[in-house]
Amino acid sequence: MPEGIDLFFRITLAIFLEAAPFLLLGSFLGAVLEFFVSPERMERLLPKNRAAEVLAGLLGGMVLPTCECGVVPIAKRLLHKGATPAFAVTYMLAAPVINPVVIASTYVAFQGNWTMVWGRCLLVALTAGCMGLFLGRHPAIALLLPEARNPEPACGCCHHHHESCGHEHETERPRLVGVLLHAGDEFLGMVKFLLLGSLAAAAFKTWLPPHVVTWFMENVWLSVLGMMLLAVLLSVCSEADAFVAAGFSQFPMAAQLSFLALGPMFDLKLLAMFTSVFRRPVVLGLSLLPFIMVFCLSLVWALVESWL
């Protein structure tokens, strides 16, 4: 057996098992949105101007918390239900960090250091907000792949929504069964991309030489870039990544923040899931723009930190 292959499979399984429950939760929440939130209600709930939609997206994770493992199906379902791209994209990028669970885990991992907590939220909010404003100029149909533009059957048994499908849905039991069937279909459609991302992340984590990490530590520019690449390659869940970042205490704070900010917005498993939902130019934007923004913001943080 080749060297490291056992470790490779162990890491793959660990990443997959860590992320799969959150993907399942995201699929379930997406199905609940499909059945219990009508497009008309979604339209009434959301603000009417783009800036307010972005702000609502930034704070959405405080109401509907999730990690990046399950946020893509929720964002797709929001778009299906009539949410604007400004809200859905901002929520998709911000909710994995700006939510009570991740804020608490970051606080604990860095032993009560509120600078790391608020710094992480700030970098993510600025990046997610800009992405929401940028992609919010386009209609939802321009963002989604053709096969992802139309929602699946809402009742789980026909090709029409339950209001007009001709079946009886007077009790809660058929609706609950439909939610579970819908969530299962969503999960099975996304899980193969999660597995692909887990395999890629495990390969880099297993065979990346340790001296490469040490080399990046010697320069703040390289340390920020190195930690960002590590965040993409390791693909750690946002509810646990703060403990990984805290283990790199020898790196500058700006580099640790870049790891904490980029990973929940873009990593290998997210890239795989983006490609199953969004058109190629959108995937390219969701991959490059957060990377560039986090890199620049982290360097600005390092510069300000050196002045203080």
Query: Coil, strand, or helix at residue 145?
Result: coil
Token pair 């946002």 is at which residue?
238
Give the highest mean pLDDT range of 211-220, 243-252, 283-292.
283-292
pLDDT for 160 = 41
Distance CA 264, CA 235 (A): 8
Read off the pTM: 0.77
The residues pairing with 144 across neighbouring beta strands, listed in sequence order, are: 278
Distance CA 308, CA 138 (A): 41
Tokens found for residue 41: 């209600």
Q: What is the mean pLDDT of residues 63-85?
A: 85
Instruction: Provide the mean pLDDT of the chain.
Output: 83
- Count of CB atoms situated within 10 Å of the CB of 214: 11
Which has more pLDDT, 168 or 131?
Answer: 131
Provide the CB-side half-sphere exposure for 47 (13 A, CA): 16
Contact present, 143 and 278 (Cβ < 8 Å): yes
pLDDT for 195-226, tens place per residue? 876 787 778 778 877 777 677 777 889 999 98
42-81 CB burial, b ≥16 within 10 A, e <16: beeebeeebeebbbbbbbbbeeebbbbbbbbbbbbbbbbb
Distance CA 280, CA 282 (A): 5
Q: What is the mean pLDDT of residues 143-166?
A: 56
The closest alpha carbon to 245, from 225, 265, 231, 229, belongs to: 231
Q: Could you write out the DSSP letters of every residue in 175-194?
A: HHHHHHHHHHHHHHHHHHHH
Residue 259 has pLDDT above 90, yes or no: yes
Contact present, 118 and 259 (Cβ < 8 Å): no
Q: Indicate the burial class of 31 (C-beta count within 10 angstroms; 0-12, 13-18, 19 or more).
A: buried
Distance CA 176, CA 185 (A): 14
pLDDT for 195 = 80
pLDDT for 151 = 57
Would the CA dihedral through 14, 16, 17, 18 be positive or negative?
Answer: positive
Tokens found for residue 127: 């990046």
